[in-house]
Structure 1
Amino acid sequence: MRRFGRAVGTALLAGVLLGACSGSGGDDRTKTIVDPAFLAEEQAWRNQRLDDLLRPDGWTSLVGLHWLELKAHYIGSGERIGNGVRMAFGPEKMGLLQRDRSGTWTFTPEKGVELTLDGEPLKGKVVLRNDQDPQPSVIGFDEGRGLVTLLRRGDRDALRVRHADAPTRLQFAGLEYWPADPSWRIEGRFIPHPPGKTLPIGDIVGTLSDSPNPGVVEFERDGRSFRLEALGEPGSELFFVLADRTSGHGSYPAGRFLEAAWPGPDGKVVLDFNRAYNPPCAFTLFATCPLPPPENRLDLLVTAGEKNYVSPVH
């Protein structure tokens, strides 16, 4: 793995030997070896996780989140030329952002500035689609190394800016995990909710949104029963925002994410807590991550999955 993968391989190797059985006198101990196929699957998942974070437009590339309080803003990186939104990267003056009475935002590029919209040259005034639309608009600058998108959170709008040269990406410190452990790959039972049920989910910027809540998954650990409310549209992957007793004590304080395949006809769901992972907010100040609902705060030490990230960028 690349230099960014500090401690990932070590964590997996530590998971190979999960225990020992001792005989009389302790001389004929035999090691319990974890299935190599299991280790390979977990390593492949971790490799993909790292690659996704470090893509030029991945979560580590965020360099700005600018809330739009006025009806019009000039945007750009210049300090003394009237930019209402001053970006960390990009042209000194990029263009003018305007909101009409319906709440629609338009963008007019500055003359002579090379920009793209959804990969095509941007030459004039355009309407911007936000991230709640099926196909959000993406403004590109610096030959595509920088990207600007429009966010909608409740009744507030913001510009999110990414750049391939973000310090959080170039100085990424690597991911650390608890040792991969097959006992944390747990089979649960999916109990569907009535069609159309939603669950209020808050985020770190104070927005509360009703998210599709197709059902709950029940599972057992250490002789106790637990439940996790699932998010997602029927038939899609199940998505969980959860906290546990490691939150703030080894794992990211605000909780972690977990995904699972939609249950089959028998209602079984595999929860692989080895693949519990940090939300984007663990790596950047410019994300708007969902927080675990009260129903998903587990009275359980989930010593599996991704550990808290300590950024070298301050």
Structure 2
Amino acid sequence: MSLSLRLLSLVFSLFLCAFALASPAAAAQGPDPEWLREIGDWRSERFMRLRSPDGWLTLTGLYWLHEETSRFGGSPANELVLAGTPPLVGTFEVADGKVEFTAAPGVEVRSEERRVDRIALASDADGAPTVLTSGSLGFFVIRRGERLALRVRDREAATLREFRGLDYFPVHPAWRVRARLEPAPPGTTFPVPNVTGTVDATPTPGNLRFRVGETEYRLVALREGDDEELFVVFGDETNGEETYGGGRFLAAPAPGPDGTLWLDFNRAYNPPCAFTPYATCPVPPRENRLPFRVEAGEKRYAGGH
């Protein structure tokens, strides 16, 4: 870390101390119990989502599909090889951006509890993808830009069985800051890079401006689908040490009538890529790399890849 960044981190540490000492009465009273309860509930929900049968810990494969027929199964002769499965589970045919699956003879594959022999597959870009199941496996098609991929889950995945839980920085009210949304024109998008090496034009409602100490910072906010909640992909000086090297995520409520909202870094959380190599996570754009340590929220996962 450069001298200037070390000084900035020191300044922010002093800011935290000043915050704690500024009001003896508030310090004696402690943080708002309701706010602490909400943080606890959020952590519990986060844990349960990760542990769910369709959570990120169940991912066991990601295969990019091409305009051809690809065989899928345990045989090394297949184009798409997944160890521990029958030699041939089935084949995927891609033509004009559409995908069809044909089950191998004698292999039971189901869609919504109905056994299928051949079926056209919707991707996640079409809304809900067509999910196929075979034994403990679930697999479906995702679209990333112009590319199609097969995503595979296993409800008996080792990553799920061996999940070690999550570790967090201590909750501190100084990391809950008031932010103002600086609106972007309707329809504005922002280029967000991801781990696959591509860049996605993602809708943005604008920039979030907030202060840490005496300095103002800015984060580009994103919006996913029709959700009014804001989404931030950010990096800071803890990345690669106490926190995941690929940055963290943060959700924030839609701004109120005055254009402001609470940005609570105590709710910063790891992207799916912190738990599995089979996710396609966005990474912090240059504009969202904070030049100080955000010692709040979720720490690096001890069982990460």
The bucket for the TM-score relative to the shorter chain is 0.7 to 0.9
TM-score w.r.t. the length of structure 1 is 0.84
Contact 1:64 1:88 in 2 (8 A): no
SS in 2 for 1:301: coil
1:169 to partner: Cα distance? 0.9
Contact 1:19 1:32 in 2 (8 A): no
Q: Residue 126 of structure 1 is aligned with which of 99, 119, 123?
A: 119
Q: Residue 252 of structure 1 is aligned with which of 227, 230, 244?
A: 244
Q: Distance in 1 between matches of 2:302 and 2:270?
A: 12
Q: Figure out how many residues of one structure are paired with residues of the other and give that number.
A: 283
Structure 1 residue 206 corresponds to structure 2 residue 201: no
Q: Residue 229 of structure 1 is aligned with which of 214, 220, 225?
A: 220
Contact 2:61 2:152 in 1 (8 A): yes
Q: Residue 196 of structure 1 is aligned with which of 158, 168, 187?
A: 187
Contact 1:252 1:282 in 2 (8 A): yes
Corresponding residue number in structure 2 for 1:76: 73
CA separation of 1:150 and 1:303: change in aligned 2, threshold 3 A:
same
Structure 1 residue 294 corresponds to structure 2 residue 286: yes
Contact 1:184 1:273 in 2 (8 A): yes
Corresponding residue number in structure 2 for 1:97: 92
1:235 to partner: Cα distance? 6.1
Corresponding residue number in structure 2 for 1:10: none
Q: Provide, for residues 155-211 of structure 1, a one-character-per-residue CA deviation record: whole Å limited to 9, x for no partner.
A: 322211111111111101211100011121111111110111100011111111100
Structure 1 residue 38 corresponds to structure 2 residue 29: no
Q: Percent identity?
A: 42
Gaps of 5+ in 2: 1-18
1:76 to partner: Cα distance? 1.4
Tell me the amino acid that sits aligned with residue 61 of structure 1: T
TM-score w.r.t. the length of structure 2 is 0.87
Tell me the amino acid that sits aligned with residue 189 of structure 2: T
1:301 to partner: Cα distance? 1.4
Q: Distance in 2 between matches of 1:43 and 1:78?
A: 46
Q: Provide, for residues 16-46 of structure 1, a one-character-per-residue CA deviation record: whole Å limited to 9, x for no partner.
A: xx9689x9xxxxxx85533322222111110
1:123 to partner: Cα distance? 2.3
1:307 to partner: Cα distance? 0.6
SS in 2 for 1:132: helix
Q: Provide, for residues 193-248 of structure 1, a one-character-per-residue CA deviation record: whole Å limited to 9, x for no partner.
A: 01111000111111111000111111111221111111115761100000011112
Structure 1 residue 261 corresponds to structure 2 residue 253: yes
CA RMSD between the two structures: 2.1
Q: Residue 136 of structure 1 is aligned with which of 90, 111, 129?
A: 129
The answer to which of 161-170 and 146-155 deviates more is 146-155
